[in-house]
Amino acid sequence: MNPFALNVMLAVVWAALVGAFTLTSLAVGFFLGYLVLLTMRPLFAETTYFERVIRVLRLIGRFIYELVASSFKVAWDVFTPTHLSRPGIIAVPLTVRGDMGLLLTANLISLTPGSLAIDVSADGETLYVHAMFVADPDELREELSQGIELRVKEAIEA
């Protein structure tokens, strides 16, 4: 059976046992189910499920970090008299492949304050991003490539 389906089932069973179908109880149930399945890992055929869960959690953590950091940066620029913003549009070469990876990368970049994915090249190898702080375009390209895009690539493609 699929380890993910088992993990979801264990999360629902946990929520039923505690008598609360809340996001918190489902998340705790999912975590506990993951630990149970991890101990039973030799019973499953070759699967990347256990590593993929870790990579997805790393992606979520990186996105939350980017969200908080960019929110503070934008708020600081808005509320202080000196404006540090240097808006611009940059072309970011992509290493992520596939529609799902491209879509997720563009949307996560757009969800962080101060940046917006504008367009993708026809070949899908370049993402055009409008950013509020483009003092050094190469540094911003590197930050986007080694941040959100790298985590998306790890979670989706591997």
Residues 28 and 72 reside in one and the same domain:
no
Per-residue pLDDT at 98: 86
Q: What are phi and psi of 69, to 5 degrees?
A: -60, -45
Per-residue pLDDT at 62: 93
Residues 54 and 125 reside in one and the same domain:
yes
Per-residue pLDDT at 28: 94
110 close to 64: Cβ distance less than 8 angstroms: no
Per-residue pLDDT of the chain (158 residues; tens, 9 = 90+): 788 999 999 999 999 999 989 999 999 999 999 999 989 888 877 888 888 999 999 999 999 999 999 999 999 998 988 888 899 999 999 999 888 999 999 999 999 999 999 999 998 899 999 999 998 999 999 999 999 999 999 998 76
41-46: long-range contacts (C-beta < 8 A, 24 or more apart)?
44/3
Residues 25 and 82 reside in one and the same domain:
no
Residues 81 and 146 reside in one and the same domain:
yes
93 close to 126: Cβ distance less than 8 angstroms: yes
Residues 74 and 145 reside in one and the same domain:
yes
The range of the structural domain enclosing residue 84 comes to 49-157
Count structural domains, the chain.
Answer: 2
Residues 39 and 9 reside in one and the same domain:
yes
**Full-model pTM:** 0.81
Residues 36 and 54 reside in one and the same domain:
no
Residues 131 and 82 reside in one and the same domain:
yes
Residues 82 and 35 reside in one and the same domain:
no
User: Rounded to an integer, what distance in angstroms lies between the CA atom of residue 138 and that of residue 158?
Assistant: 27
Residues 94 and 128 reside in one and the same domain:
yes
Least Cα distance to 110 among 130, 92, 87, 90 occurs for 130
Per-residue pLDDT at 158: 61
Per-residue pLDDT at 46: 81
